[in-house]
């Protein structure tokens, strides 16, 4: 199941509960620290001063914290993993940390000005249903930013395959929750390519959908406006 990049929701939650202690460190190592810059760029595109912001699949909270520091009025971070949320709570008590599922968000319609998802939507069992929920809780004109790993095409592709299919699973073997790092490359392979993700966003009610690629096409940021 892990090799196919598909896990039921309970499996995903348990996997993140297990890797929570090493998650931030692995992020820094795997991205050579670039993840901080990608988060800052995401927030810059999506969050306006005073906005009420939802960071869904917030994990240990780095994107929510970046939104708060960029001047958001109120930030809510939501995740279904207790252990990931526990780490987030220690980072920023000024954010409301909520345990919940992105497939059934515990918020009224149109209750946010902006929403972000960082490296999370790929793990959601039903991508389209998750994006529809995010659309539901955004006011009309509200912005959504999806930061996600994607499979690069072109010159970087062979290097990426070695890094992702060999080095990362190897790192996973010496760290707790090793299976997560086998799951990671498989889950990226089955995730829609950037053009297809843009089309899904259009289907679920976002307009003005744009994406840009970072780090030679390893990471994509999609931004859309709720219609
Ligand atoms: C790779 S981590 C990303 C964490 C954080 N957003 C970041 O930028 O580092 C993915 C997170 O998504 C959460 N997640 C996956 N599926 C979810 C769902 N259906 N509802 C809520 N959280 C979910 C996991 O628990 C995990 O913390």
Note the pLDDT tens digit of each residue in 43-87.
Answer: 999 999 999 999 999 999 999 999 999 999 999 999 999 999 999
Instruction: State which ligand 1 atom lies nearest to the alpha carbon of 101.
Output: 20
Quick check: 106 and 87 in contact, CB under 8 A? no
Pocket test for ligand 1, best of 123, 147, 186, 188 (most atoms within 8 A of CB): 123
In order, the DSSP letters of 111-165 are: -EEEEEEES-GGG-SSHHHHHHHHHHHEEEEEEEEEEEE----STTHHHHHHIII
Angle, CA of 204, 210 and 216, to the nearest 5°:
125
Confidence of residue 148 (pLDDT cuts 50, 70, 90): very high
| CA–CA dist 53, 223 (Å, integer) | 14
Note the pLDDT tens digit of each residue in 195-215.
Answer: 999 999 999 999 999 999 998
Report whether residue 119 contacts ligand 1, using a CB cutoff of 6 Å.
yes
Residue 163 alpha carbon to ligand 1 centre in Å: 22
* Cα four-point dihedral sign 95, 107, 53, 116: positive
Pocket test for ligand 1, best of 10, 57, 85 (most atoms within 8 A of CB): 57
Q: Is pLDDT above 80 for 4?
A: no
Report whether residue 123 contacts ligand 1, using a CB cutoff of 6 Å.
yes
Nearest Cα neighbor of 132 from 192, 203, 59, 79 is 203
Q: Is pLDDT above 60 for 171?
A: yes
Note the pLDDT tens digit of each residue in 94-110.
Answer: 999 999 999 999 999 99
Please give the span between the terminal C-alpha atoms of the chain, in angstroms, as a whole number: 37
Percent of the chain's residues with pLDDT above 70: 95
Q: What is the pLDDT of residue 146?
A: 98
Residue 64 alpha carbon to ligand 1 centre in Å: 12
Retrieve residue 183's tokens: 């799951």
Q: Is pLDDT above 90 for 89?
A: yes
Report whether residue 9 contacts ligand 1, using a CB cutoff of 6 Å.
yes
Q: Is pLDDT above 80 for 35?
A: yes
| Whole-number average pLDDT of the chain | 92
Give the range among 87-91, 130-134, 180-184 with minimum mean pLDDT. 180-184
Burial class of residue 171, CB neighbours in 10 A (0-12, 13-18, 19+):
middle
């Amino acid at each position: 199941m892990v090799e196919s990049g598909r896990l039921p929701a309970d499996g995903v939650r348990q996997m993140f509960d297990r890797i929570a202690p090493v998650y931030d460190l692995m992020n820094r190592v795997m991205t050579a620290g670039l993840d901080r810059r990608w988060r800052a760029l995401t927030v810059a595109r999506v969050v306006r001063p005073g906005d009420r912001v939802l960071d869904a699949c917030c994990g240990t909270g780095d994107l929510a914290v970046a939104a708060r520091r960029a001047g958001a009025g109120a930030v809510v971070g939501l995740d279904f993993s207790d252990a990931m949320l526990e780490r987030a709570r220690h980072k920023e008590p000024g954010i409301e940390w909520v345990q919940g599922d992105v497939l059934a968000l515990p918020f009224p319609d149109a209750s946010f000005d902006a929403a972000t998802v960082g490296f999370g939507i790929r793990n959601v069992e039903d991508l389209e249903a998750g994006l529809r929920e995010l659309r539901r809780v955004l006011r009309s004109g509200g912005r959504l930013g999806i930061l996600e790993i994607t499979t690069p095409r072109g010159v970087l592709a062979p290097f990426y395959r070695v890094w992702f299919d060999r080095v990362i699973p190897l790192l996973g073997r010496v760290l707790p929750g090793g299976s997560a790092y086998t799951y990671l490359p498989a889950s990226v392979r089955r995730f829609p390519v950037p053009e297809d993700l843009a089309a899904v966003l259009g289907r679920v009610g976002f307009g003005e959908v744009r994406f840009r690629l970072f780090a030679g096409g390893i990471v994509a940021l999609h931004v859309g406006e709720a219609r």
